[in-house]
Amino acid sequence: MKLKASVLIVDDDESLRLALADRFAYWGHDVVTAPDGLQAVTLAAERAFDLILMDLTMPGIDGLETMKRLAESECSADIVVLTAHGSVQKAVEALKLGAADFLTKPADFDLLENVVERSLERRRLRRVSQAFADRTESRLVGSAPVMLKLVETANRAARADTTVILSGESGTGKQVLAEHIHAQSLRATGPFVYVNCVAISDELIESTLFGHERGAFTGAVGRKSGRLEAAGGGTAFLDEIGDVSPNLQTKLLHFLEAGEFERVGGNQTVRVDCRIIAATNRDLEHEVKEGRFREDLFYRLNVINLRVPPLRERDDDIPVLAECFLAEFSDELKRERLHFAARTLAIMHDYSWPGNVRQLRNAVERMAVLAPTDTLTADLLPPEVLAGPAADADDIRALPYKEAVTVFKRRIVRQALVDAGGNQTRAAAELGLQRSYLNRLIKELDAQPDKE
């Protein structure tokens, strides 16, 4: 069986009920049994089932009445009915009431397995479709308690117009959360402007944010508006705010307090009404104590602080996210029947994903592109995922050349960041690289060091 499910078996024939329970357990499912419809309704109210296999002829209330009561209680399980040869008409009535399928007694286990697999596959596809329907309003996906609480808090924050700072490791989805807050806010009809503060050189970041006047510097042949002006009436998302220079921190603080600034090389005051959402993978309180980040700017930004959890803290969301990404890439590749093998999902669930959601998405894309059949088998997973948490400790000589080079680069970059206390500017200087290039390497290699 490809999918594991929670199954309720309802039949007044004890021997058949036990035989079916043994078979479903053998297939790897969690099984609960009930001898009649009333007990089935009670059990379905106490816990969620993926599938209910139910006889139609039972004492007390029959299968059709049981189905009606389950529907009234908003039971979401798929129902497969079992019926005797002479009761096919009742089975047709059951289908009209919403049954997913029906089988005649005596039960043929091979046929039953196929019916159950089809039912569970349809259920999986509905779940993925619903996840994508939800993403029309928000790209946030997940049902882990920590994510539900985060989204609830973000929705409350969206209704105000205060500054928000998003903290968390690289690749956790801070930009997606920022877009969600903007979409839920009163500024939703205005622009959402993204600025990666670390990908732009120190010489250009001020001009990028605030704009410049003609002649402000070599190459400034005319006046140019900055990203903050472009965000007027909407939201400006400042990613990697912890990496901006002290001079720019001062100018940002003035803008946050007064809503105004001067373009580079100019003396005319420009007023802009935009909301600021900032993000960082640094511990800004530690940066303040070390004198690398202005304390007054930190407190001005830190009105609402939302921590986006790493994927390892919401591992139950890994299969859901993976299915969503697979549906996305299946559509792009025009391969509608792609699906994960059970072992593939198990390995993905158990992996720590140091690169978080971004790394998971890249892994699914790789698998979708390379899959020779519709089934994404475990051998298609990236080597570091197959190797597990100790991948970087393995002898890289056992890896293919390109994979070994990637692992070696990741080790060097991670160690440089650790030695520099997480400061990318110092790490870049130590490695002899531009900071913007180092930032790209960190993301490409998923090389952000694990926090203690």
Percentage of the chain exceeding pLDDT 70: 90
Rounded distance, CA 44 to CA 204, Å?
61
Rounded distance, CA 16 to CA 27, Å?
17
The residue with greater pLDDT, 431 or 64, is 64
pLDDT digits (tens, 9 = 90+) for 122-147: 776 566 545 444 443 445 777 788 88
pLDDT score, position 359: 92
Tell me what the mean pLDDT of segment 9-20 comes to: 91
Percentage of the chain exceeding pLDDT 90: 35
Rounded distance, CA 376 to CA 230, Å?
43
For strands 269-271 and 260-262, give the pairing. antiparallel
Rounded distance, CA 233 to CA 3, Å?
48
pLDDT digits (tens, 9 = 90+) for 85-117: 656 677 778 887 888 888 888 878 888 888 888
Would the pLDDT of 27 be above 50?
yes
The encoded tokens of residue 441 equal 């390497």
CA 114 to chain centre: 31
pLDDT score, position 452: 40
Is the CB of residue 132 less than 8 Å from the CB of residue 327?
A: yes
pLDDT score, position 60: 86
Give Cα separations from 288 to 38, 196, 284, 305, 394 (angstroms). Answer: 63, 21, 6, 16, 38
The residue with greater pLDDT, 445 or 398, is 445
pLDDT score, position 424: 85
Give Cα separations from 366 to 279, 324, 325, 331, 359 (angstroms). Answer: 28, 15, 11, 14, 11
Tell me phi and psi for residue 283, to 5 degrees: -90, 95
The encoded tokens of residue 226 equal 């900055």
The residue with greater pLDDT, 100 or 255, is 255
Domains of the chain listed by start with CATH number: 6-134 (3.40.50.2300), 145-307 (3.40.50.300), 310-391 (1.10.8.60), 395-452 (1.10.10)
How high is the mean pLDDT of the chain? 84
Handedness of CA 52, 55, 56, 58 (dihedral sign): negative
pLDDT score, position 273: 93
* 75-89, 285-299, 407-421 — most confident range: 285-299
Rg (CA), the chain: 28
Would the pLDDT of 260 be above 60?
yes
CA 228 to chain centre: 29
Tell me what the mean pLDDT of segment 398-426 comes to: 74
Is the CB of residue 236 less than 8 Å from the CB of residue 275?
A: yes
Report DSSP state, residue 193: E
Would the pLDDT of 63 be above 90?
no
pLDDT digits (tens, 9 = 90+) for 425-449: 888 887 878 788 788 788 777 777 6
Nearest 5°: CA angle at 48, between 43 and 51? 90
The residue with greater pLDDT, 443 or 239, is 239
pLDDT score, position 217: 80
Between 72-81, 286-295, 352-361, 367-376, the lowest mean confidence (pLDDT) is in: 72-81
Strand partners, 275: 235
pTM over 0.75: no
CA 323 to chain centre: 10
Categorize the per-residue pLDDT at 397 as very low, low, confident or very high, splitting at 50, 70 and 90. Answer: low
The encoded tokens of residue 196 equal 């990666």
Reduced to 3 states (helix: H, G, I; strand: E, B; else coil), residue 212 is: strand
State which amino acid sits at residue 326.
L
